[in-house]
Amino acid sequence: MKPGTKMKGEAREKFEAEICSAYKQNLKVGVRDISDATNRSYGAIYDALKRNGVLRPRGGTRR
């Protein structure tokens, strides 16, 4: 899919399922990493993860 093209329907659901799965399975993968790998904007990835309730809190562990 071309960058900047808005995804709709089944294609969007499938894409979001894939990125949510990757994000949940690997704690070292961040929003920026997924954005770079999929050629989608940071905001699009962030919104998709937030919409699906899988976005991790910001920052690392506290000492």
Domain ranges of the chain: 9-51
Q: pLDDT (tens digit, 9 = 90+) per residue, 14-44?
A: 999 999 999 999 888 899 999 999 999 999 9
From residue 48, alpha-carbon distances to 34, 36, 43, 57 in Å are: 11, 15, 8, 15
Instruction: State pTM to two decimals.
Output: 0.81
pLDDT band at 61 (very low <50, low <70, confident <90, very high): low
